[in-house]
Amino acid sequence: MNAPHIAKSLSRRRFLQSAGVTLGLPLLECMTPVFGRAAQAKAPRRMLIISNNLGFLPKPFFPTTAGRDYELTQTLAPLADVRGEFSIFSGMSHPDVNGGHSAENCFLTAARGPTKSGFRNQISLDQFAVEKLGQLTRFPTLNLGVNIDKANRSLSWTRDGVLLPAEDSAPALFRRMFLQGDPAAVKRQLNALDERGSILDTLLDHTKKLSRDLGSDDRSRLDQYLTSVREVEERLLTAREWELKPKPVTKLPEPADIQDKKRIFEKLDLMLAMAQLAFESDSTRIITLMVDAFATPAFKIDDHESTTEGYHGLSHHGQAPAKVKQLEDADRQQMVLFRKLIQNLATKREDDARLLDRTMVLFGSNMGDANKHDNTNLPILLAGGGLKHGQHHAFKGDHDKPLCNLFVSMLQHMGVETESFGSSTGTLTV
């Protein structure tokens, strides 16, 4: 992890051990890189990425004209009073990311060939951003889910292509953010972090001795491994510092859990509210949220309407009018929730700015047309972030524009110094 100053900072644990004392020292500046940076930090920039892995009906979703004067479609109609707060994109996808549902884990990675033998995913946009920015908050990122199959699906992946499980319980997330453990529980957590640090110290010592007898190629591989170990050590140090800092306080009560998968949009509404709360408390600045429609049975669209079958079955509608109608209603309901999120972020103030102007919200999907398992022309909405919105950016041609071009622009807006990510070929002006 690229975390300026952390690698050079003095480990409080190592200082005490080397001094052979147990007296608790004050947290000196050289021991608190995270909080030292926070005091000098610029206005925070945030990012929330939401994906429904079955997408939207394309024809009612995409406008037929481009630019500022586009006409809101049937699906986008609920966004009429916030149209100046978001942009819509068409003609974008991830090159060589196909195979229908196999692409759902590649939405933020753009890893090519998810159906090929030996496929291995790669780092997701959120984790890439954290690598570059360092851990600025208690949680580097929050990876959330609605009705999610935790064992198989996630928007968030490590550099080694390992799935990071999503949190799908609002009460559990609330407790992680706000519930301060008793002194004994905090001490146990600190001891566990110290123990992991001790293991890493021993591991580093042994590998340094081993390197003396290795050839140049093996030594190079070992150096790469040691670099990874040092990054883990830095993260443990940062985690320890955050464990010593009291958690933020909220007057809000712990939310009630919603376990019924049929209430998918109530669960989505709750998770969006939790994401906003995480931003307001500055618990994190990067959040991913996967709506696992594939794992959703027959569900409630609103208080008056329920579907006749599961989300996946509806998505293969074959133009059957009854199924299409239910999907249209479900798509509009998601836009109702998206509008609510935009309005809520717009009404919250942070210093002299709206929370919305410091928060980019991307809502999209890995699926362009679920009925045909088509992973091209992905539905993409981007709101907030202080960007110039109100347009339909239509990219048409023999090939879609790489979605990663938009990702690079978002990364740069977050303050990440990079010219590329995934399959990008440049950037987009938003």
pLDDT in tens, 278-290: 999 999 999 999 9
Q: 3-state class of 168 per DSSP? A: coil
Cα–chain center distance at 36: 25
Residue 248 — very low, low, confident or very high, per pLDDT cuts 50/70/90? confident
Higher pLDDT, 183 or 375: 375
* Average pLDDT of the residues of the chain: 84
**For range 240-255, the mean pLDDT:** 74
Whole-number Cα distances in Å, 82 to 104, 173, 192, 272, 406: 29, 29, 48, 17, 21
Dump strand ranges (E) for 309-379. 349-350, 353-354, 359-364
Looking at 14-28, 161-175, 348-362, 367-381, which range is the least confident one?
A: 14-28
Task: Give the whole-angstrom CA distance, residue 291 versus residue 288.
Answer: 10
CB 285 within 8 A of CB 129: no
**For range 100-118, the mean pLDDT:** 96
Q: What percent of the chain has pLDDT over 70?
A: 75
**For range 189-198, the mean pLDDT:** 58
Q: What is the pLDDT of residue 228?
A: 55
* Phi, psi (degrees; rounded to nearest 5) at 284: -155, 170
Q: What is the pLDDT of residue 60?
A: 97
For residue 374, is pLDDT > 60? yes
For residue 237, is pLDDT > 90? no
**For range 1-12, the mean pLDDT:** 38
Total Cβ atoms within 10 A of residue 25:
11
For residue 202, is pLDDT > 90? no
Q: What is the pLDDT of residue 231?
A: 58
For the stretch 10-37, pLDDT in tens is 444 443 344 333 333 333 344 334 334 4
Question: Encoding tokens for residue 233?
Answer: 């050590």
Q: What is the pLDDT of residue 66?
A: 96
**For range 209-222, the mean pLDDT:** 65
Task: Give the whole-angstrom CA distance, residue 6 versus residue 9.
Answer: 5
Task: Give the whole-angstrom CA distance, residue 353 versus residue 289.
Answer: 25
Q: What is the pLDDT of residue 39?
A: 40
The one-character DSSP state at 429 is: -
For the stretch 139-187, pLDDT in tens is 999 999 999 999 999 999 999 899 999 999 999 999 888 866 556 665 5
